[in-house]
A and B are shown apart, each in its own frame.
Chain A
Amino acid sequence: MTEEKKVVRKKINAAADVGKFMQDYYLELDEASRKGKPKIAWCTSVGPAEILRAMDFLVYFPETHSAMLGATKMATDLIPEANALGYSPDICSYLTADIGAFLKGITPLKKAFNIQSIPKPDVLVFNTNQCRDVQDWFAWYGEKFDAPVIGVNTYRGVGEVTEKHIGSIARQMEALIEPLEKVSGQKFELDKLKKAVKLSRDCSDIWKKILDTAAARPSPITFFDGTTLMGPAVVGRGTQKALDVFQILLAELEERIANGEGALEDEKYRIYWDGMPVWGRLSAHSKLFSALNANVLASTYCNSWIFSALDPDDPFNSMARAYTELFIVRSDEAKEKYIKDMLNFFNVDGVIYHDAKTCPNNSNCRYGMPQRLEKETGIPSLTINGDLNDLRLLSDEQTKTNVEAFVEQLEESR
């Protein structure tokens, strides 16, 4: 009988530092939630967190919580709770899993950090730049907690980002100040926003450096590492602590490069991942690819927390630009150029598109993009069907056969 190959994936030591960062982050939120101060703002993962930091809110990002529900495999059993309330099984499984968890009174934070419940919001601030679901998600909690829900409504399918786009989004961001002042009980200070934008930009820059290390051959990092190490870029941007922990991570990766040490023992194929991770299968997918000597080393997803347009000297306009320039907001033409640049930069042999059933906004394979890009670049691609959180929507065996066959195809084409 043929034996499964033993997989060697090298552990990143800084993961412990990132874990500690996340623990401190959630404990601080929990304490604030119990004491009622400082005030807590909920924010979407690519929402205007810098404004909230500048007004001294602690910022909680429910998507990160829902990703934890997925990674701990709790999500699938919770989704039906929200379905029963009228939230369709076809909509965002971050939303349905998170609401389901709240309804059942459970959270992965308990096992991870001994925290009993998610922090209570004083205000919820969304940006629909990623999807409309976040607005609906926050509206549900706003009603539950009797807290105001405010936000930014974005453009969609943006080709070139113009002054018109930026002006409109910047004005919407400025309009958040007044209601936030009411909730926080303190006046907005432009200098504090500039400082938060500066820290956020620095965080973005160092996160980019971390992800760019994957251009080395062999790559010192995998996409699967990235998804578990990205926490500070999401929940910590605008804080010094995030910068500090990322410095440790970057130093370790740079050392690996200097020593010619890859994340995989034998990196033969370099793969790019487009779309959401399958949170409940991170480990399984990581093992699946590494056993085939294929390193999924770069992704659109992890790069979504790079905001190079942020400029402390022009905070509102630069935030508007940064949060509109994002991949997910853009037209297919702009997305294709982006992916093409990534494939070149990371020297990729093949592309995986994850068609996530409940996340149409971040499934980029539904309108012929893989075929167009394959034709243009000659780099083969594979689409796998799955979901970010709902494990009922994937077939592990099909994924395995597809991935193995894809790597066979790469091997044969050499």
Chain B
Amino acid sequence: MTSKEIFVGADVGSSRTKVAVLDAGKNLLGYAVKKSGTDFAATANECLAISLKMAKSEPIDIANAIATGYGRKNVEFATDTKTEIGCHASGCYLYFPKAITIIDIGGQDNKIIKLDERGRRTSFKMNRKCAAGTGAFLEEMSARLDIPLEEMDGLAAKSENMVKLGSFCTVFSATEVLENIRHGKKIEDIVKGVFFSVTRRVMEMDSMTENVVMTGGVVAHNPFMVKMTEEMIGRKILVPEHPQLTGAIGAALYAINAGQ
């Protein structure tokens, strides 16, 4: 193994593609996040190019690459695949090496993964078929409210009087949102209700252990979601430095371990 050797993890999610480049010492050298779009292979390649540039590396330096996520089979430069459940687990354990419950809120699905103190998965759950509690729900609501997605977090944080949404279903929730607009409710209160709905759906999936870690794109872009969850469980939540990258980092860790 030369000192230049790098290990790549590519996490092709339904919404965003993430690539992480690690050295053999598990240090993050480069990364990229882009909209997955419709050509997963091309997006993964673009992310790789950006990540390599950031890492000051060349494709020839890649010792191994593993792909994960919804489009994991479409990554041309990967030698193998792992599920996003395994990769999020591995990525989180790198930052928090103890028994943890991981809440990952992605674009299309949510996961709750439990690890023991040695980092072994003891159980995991994914959301059921519907979009309630996922990033897709937030995207739908931002469209309904005609608010850019990136402004949702700031609005939710401003709310002093949350509007609770009662429905499980994204479509029914959208109807509820419209009804609340019609009744003159403040937009920030509705947005906070939307956030609460996501948090609630996720918390219903499984019980939490002592140490809770939150990851995923929704968490990366909406820190208020973490605050809300902390209030709900009554304790501090651990968030890795790059919450959107944990899947890609986990895949890169698998790439490192594959050679050992």
Contacts and interface: CB of A to CB of B under 8 A. Distances in A.
A401 B75 contact: no
B84 A1 contact: no
Contact of A412 (B73, B76, B120): B120
B136 interface: no
Contacts of A4: 73
A412 B109 CA distance: 23
B191 to A, nearest CB: 28
B168 interface: no
Given A2-B67, A401-B126, A408 B74 contact: no
Nearest to A410: B121
A406 B70 CA distance: 16
B80 A408 contact: no
Given A1-B41, A2-B80, A408 B120 contact: no
B120 A413 contact: yes
A385 B128 contact: yes
A412 B70 CA distance: 22
A385 B129 contact: yes
Contacts of B126: 398, 401-402
Contact of B86 (A374, A408, A413): A408
A374 B121 CA distance: 14
Contact of A409 (B41, B80, B124): B124
Interface string B118-131: 00111111101100
B97 to A, nearest CB: 15
A38 interface: no
Nearest to B124: A405
Nearest to B85: A405
Interface residues of A, number: 21
Interface secondary structure of B, over-half rule: mixed
A5 to B, nearest CB: 11
B35 interface: no
Nearest to A412: B120
Contacts of A380: 122-123
Nearest to B73: A2
Nearest to A404: B83
Contacts of B123: 374, 380
Contact of A405 (B67, B73, B75, B83): B83
B120 A405 contact: no
Contact of B121 (A398, A401, A402, A409): A409
Interface residues on B, range: 20 to 34
B253 to A, nearest CB: 13
A283 interface: no
A2 B82 CA distance: 11
A401 B129 contact: no
A356 to B, nearest CB: 13
A209 B26 CA distance: 53
A373 to B, nearest CB: 13
- Of A2, A380, A393, A395, chain B has the most CB atoms within 10 Å of the CB of A2
Contacts of B79: 2
A319 B45 CA distance: 65
B215 to A, nearest CB: 16
Contact of B85 (A374, A395, A408): A408
A397 interface: yes
B18 interface: no
Contacts of A374: 123
A2 B83 contact: no
A401 B73 contact: no
- Of B78, B125, B128, chain A has the most CB atoms within 10 Å of the CB of B128
A347 B125 CA distance: 24
Contacts of A402: 126
B81 interface: yes
Nearest to B70: A397
B16 interface: no
- Of A4, A397, A405, chain B has the most CB atoms within 10 Å of the CB of A405
Interface string B62-93: 00000100101111101111111110000000
Contacts of B73: 1-2, 4
Interface string A378-414: 0010010100000001110110011011101100110
Given A2-B72, A401-B84, 9 more contacts: A2-B73, A2-B75, A383-B125, A401-B85, A402-B126, A404-B83, A405-B86, A412-B121, A413-B121
10 contacts: A2-B67, A2-B75, A398-B109, A401-B83, A401-B84, A405-B83, A405-B85, A408-B121, A413-B120, A413-B121
Interface of B: 41, 67, 70, 72-76, 78-86, 109, 120-126, 128-129
For the complex of A and B, the 3 pairs showing the least CB-CB separation, nearest first, are: A405-B85, A405-B83, A409-B121
